[in-house]
Amino acid sequence: MHVVADSFSTQINLLTPLISGIANGAAYGLLGLGLVLLYKSNRIFNFAQGEFATVAAIVAYVFDRGTGWVPKVPYFLAILIGIVAAVLIAVATERLVIRPLFHRPRVVLVVATVGVALFLIGVEGLLPYPQTASLRTISDALNVQSYVGRVDGVVVLDQDVAKLIALAVLALGAFLFFRYTATGTAILAVSQDTTAARVVGISVERISMTTWAIAGLLGGVAGVLLAVPPAGSVTPGSITGLTLTVAFSAAVLGGMTSLPGAFVGGLLIGVIEAFANADNGFVPGLNSLPTAQAEVAVAVVLLVILLVRPRGLLGQEA
Amino acid sequence: MTTQTQLLRFDPQAARRRASVTGWLVRAVFLLPVLALVLWVPHHSDDWTNDAVFAAIYAMVGLSMNVLVGYTGQISLGQQAFLGLGALTAANVVHTGYNAPDPFTFALGMVAAVGVAAGAALLLGAIALRIRGLYLALVTLVFGSVTADAVFTISSLNGHDAGVSAYRPTAFQSDYGYYLFALAMVAVCVYVDVCVRRSKVGRGLIALRDNELVASAFGINVLGYKLLGFVLSGAMAGLAGGVFAFWSQEFSDKDFTAAAGFNKALIFVVMVVVGGLGNRTGVIAAAAFFALVDPLLAGLAHHTGWLSFYTDHKQYISNLIGAGLLLQTVIFNPGGLGQVLRPFTRWFAGHPLSFHDEHGDAAAAALAGGSNVRA
């Protein structure tokens, strides 16, 4: 009797962090996809990716509520407008900031994306909207039950399933795009040798803009899925502050050059975090903040992967 | 010989020409307002002393970023963590209850602050700098949030969440006296920077910033030199942290939370770029600007009746200013503030005032596209 009861409780303890970890991991993967895309194509770390997501969330929120001169539109149209806004911001970033710096050292480009992130946080902060609000969840908008079901008593939210599906679809889609389409191949060619790509007739400018537009799209999708209760909100800079760091670790774990890697890395990091946090007092003295153990775990994973296998789990030289 | 040098538009005689006695006197007169701004104005009121100490601390952090970004071409997004580690170490070393420490303990605290920050930099750099590319940016980003949430919150190190007091020694009891000490520490950082830049180490660092492969072909130990640059940078930030701890007279983890720290880290990157990579004067000027922009704007907002709007949106406004200056600098003016100030700094150093500087700035030239480093 005792043995059965014990194993039962152990099972629940393992399942809870697993499910919450996968849910968080989907968020890291979604942001990570955009990071991987830009690393793969431009060899830079885009620190503005989190703000592309926030812009989408804010615009979607404003159109969903319809405040001031902004008309109230149906939820899914608002989401779409938000994602389009993120794409436009990303394209503007490419045209105004990245393209003039195209031939500079990579460190300058990375610093410039930091500047774009700061700039967007500043603009978002000065916009007149309630800055601690969250977007409605998909199930709220459809007026359906907010969870698909329970697994052994652990609630599985609709929104988390939506995140996971979006992540899987986008990761697979982006992977196929690079593998099988002419534009995808052209993006890789430009990343490897700009001059040679130009010689064979690829428009480097057009490719660069396409790449950033896709990055904006990925960021926008991440934003409208992440800025919902209970965890997220559309506070300026919150996605950059809370999720971007871990998303980078996820992308490195999966391999900075692999789009499926962002999927795998994101879920793995999410689960690692959740298990590291499952027993809050595991490391004595570290329990003053609820997330401390998770952060240490992520940092250790990042350092170990960089030391042992710098190209990540699925990464390759390309 | 003469014709040849004229052809090259470079006149060694002119380059070596220094000012006459009258020239030096004129320069001394023009130096007076600068000195008044640095030494006399902070003496005038407590608020201004406070702002001036922050400017000095920012200047130290700026110089530490300058070694890293300007000379090794890497970026750190976790410099605030070294600052915090320095403050934490200094406060815990000198923590003597309610008494001011004796000068020896105070010095020990400062040295320990530098040592711990340098040690942390050594550990991090040894891992992150092995990999080609800009992975140091990621590792330091994660390091920043981990130290804020997992190290600074350890209750035995932060005085059980109440802060660890770090009283100043009696010699620097007055605010202005301590400000002079902070200035001296800035001078130490400048001196270290000058020594590095003029030595074999500095030339090696710049060589590998411009082209790692060529530098290693010339026998430069790439990892060793990068690591040395990173450790120096961490040590300077640690020193700034020590100065900060004794200024606020305590270490509190509330000054170094992850969210505030991330924003600080971005501002630190901004100020070194806006100042001009590798340019000491420019970096110090930009650091002072970013330390003073908040009190200056608050004063302006107070007089124009926008104070409540300003205090509500303070962080966003300073973000916008920082981002605007950063983007303006990288796109249009890669030499940064240092390049703009260069004719004047050269003039103060005894050269003739000239806005056509044939030597240019090596760092600016490299950033403008001379280098083809692939990350």
Q: What's the pLDDT at B79?
A: 93
Q: What's the pLDDT at B117?
A: 96
CATH topology of domain B45-352: ABC transporter involved in vitamin B12 uptake, BtuC (1.10.3470)
pLDDT confidence bin for A233, thresholds 50/70/90 = confident
Considering only residues B367 and B114, tell me which one the structure prediction assigns the higher pLDDT: B114
Q: B367 and A303 in contact by Cβ < 8 A?
A: no
Q: A111 and B269 in contact by Cβ < 8 A?
A: yes
Q: What is the pLDDT of residues A174-194, one digit of tens each?
A: 889 988 999 999 988 888 888
The stretch A4-23 carries a mean pLDDT of 66
Considering only residues B68 and B357, tell me which one the structure prediction assigns the higher pLDDT: B68
The stretch B262-284 carries a mean pLDDT of 89
Tell me how far CA of residue B115 lies from CA of A280, B178, B187, B265, B347, in angstroms. Answer: 32, 22, 19, 21, 38
* A107 touching B (Cβ < 8 Å): yes
Q: Kindly state the percentage of chain B with pLDDT values over 70.
A: 89
Backbone angles phi, psi at A146, to 5 degrees: -80, -5
Mutant choice from A46, A288, A291 vs B, greatest count of B C-beta within 10 A: A288
| Closest CA–CA distance from residue A105 to any residue of chain B (Å) | 6
Q: What is the CATH number assigned to the segment(s) A16-308?
A: 1.10.3470
Q: Is the pLDDT of residue A152 over 80?
A: no
Q: What is the ipTM metric for this complex? A: 0.85
* Weakest mean pLDDT among A193-197, A218-222, A301-305, B44-48: B44-48
Q: What is the pLDDT of residues A245-272, one digit of tens each?
A: 889 999 999 988 888 888 899 999 999 9
| Closest CA–CA distance from residue B13 to any residue of chain A (Å) | 35
Q: What's the pLDDT at B84?
A: 94
pLDDT confidence bin for B3, thresholds 50/70/90 = very low
Tell me how far CA of residue B67 lies from CA of A273, B82, B235, in angstroms. Answer: 35, 14, 11
SS (H, E, C) chain A: CHHHHHHHHHHHHHHHHHHHHHHHHHHHHHHHHHHHHHHHHHCCCCCCHHHHHHHHHHHHHHHHHCCCCCCCCCHHHHHHHHHHHHHHHHHHHHHHHHHHHCCCCHHHHHHHHHHHHHHHHHHHHHCCCCCCCCCCCHHHHHCCCCEEEEECCEEEEHHHHHHHHHHHHHHHHHHHHHHHCHHHHHHHHHHHCHHHHHHCCCCHHHHHHHHHHHHHHHHHHHHHHHCCCCCCCCCCCHHHHHHHHHHHHHHHHHCCCCHHHHHHHHHHHHHHHHHHHHCCCCCCCCCCCCCHHHHHHHHHHHHHHHHHCCCCCCCCCC
Q: What's the pLDDT at A11?
A: 47
Q: What's the pLDDT at B168?
A: 84
Q: What's the pLDDT at B89?
A: 93
The stretch B79-107 carries a mean pLDDT of 85
| Closest CA–CA distance from residue A208 to any residue of chain B (Å) | 17
Residue A274: exposed, middle, or buried by beta-carbon count in 10 A (0-12, 13-18, 19+)?
Answer: buried
Q: Is the dihedral of CA B297, B311, B47, B157 positive or negative?
A: negative
* Weakest mean pLDDT among A258-272, B230-244, B258-272: B258-272
* A92 touching B (Cβ < 8 Å): no
Q: What's the pLDDT at B12?
A: 57
Q: A302 and B139 in contact by Cβ < 8 A?
A: yes
Q: B326 and A115 in contact by Cβ < 8 A?
A: yes
Q: Domain extents for chain A?
A: 16-308
Q: What is the pLDDT of residues B314-330, one digit of tens each?
A: 888 888 999 999 999 98
Q: What's the pLDDT at A1?
A: 40
Separation CA B322–CA B189 (nearest Å): 24
Q: Is the pLDDT of residue B260 over 90?
A: no
Q: Is the pLDDT of residue A8 over 60?
A: no
| Closest CA–CA distance from residue A152 to any residue of chain B (Å) | 33
Q: What's the pLDDT at B16?
A: 60
Helices A182-192 + A158-180 axis angle, to 10: 80
Q: What is the pLDDT of residues A67-117, one digit of tens each?
A: 778 888 899 999 999 999 999 999 999 999 999 988 888 888 999 999 999
Cis peptide before A229 (omega within 30 of 0): no
Q: Which of residues 18-57 of A touch B (CB under 8 A)?
A: 43-45, 47
Contacts of A248 in chain B (CB under 8 A): 138, 141-142
Q: Which of residues 119-178 of A touch B (CB under 8 A)?
A: 119, 121-126
pLDDT confidence bin for B356, thresholds 50/70/90 = low
Q: What's the pLDDT at B232?
A: 95
Q: Is the pLDDT of residue B369 over 70?
A: no
Q: For chain A, what is the mean pLDDT?
A: 85
What per-residue string of b and e applies to A206-237 under the rule 16 or more CB within 10 Å gives b?
ebbbbbbbbbbbbbbbbbbbbbbeebbbbbbb
Most confident of B35-44, B110-119, B137-146: B110-119
The stretch A291-318 carries a mean pLDDT of 83
Q: Kindly state the percentage of chain A with pLDDT values over 70.
A: 92
Q: What's the pLDDT at A290?
A: 66
Q: A122 and B319 in contact by Cβ < 8 A?
A: yes
| Closest CA–CA distance from residue B133 to any residue of chain A (Å) | 8
- Which pTM value belongs to this model? 0.86
Q: Is the pLDDT of residue B255 over 70?
A: yes
Q: What's the pLDDT at A160?
A: 84
Q: B269 and A114 in contact by Cβ < 8 A?
A: yes
* A308 touching B (Cβ < 8 Å): no
Q: B373 and A106 in contact by Cβ < 8 A?
A: yes
Q: What is the pLDDT of residues A15-31, one digit of tens each?
A: 778 888 888 888 889 89
Q: Is the pLDDT of residue B165 over 90?
A: no
Backbone angles phi, psi at A70, to 5 degrees: -80, 125
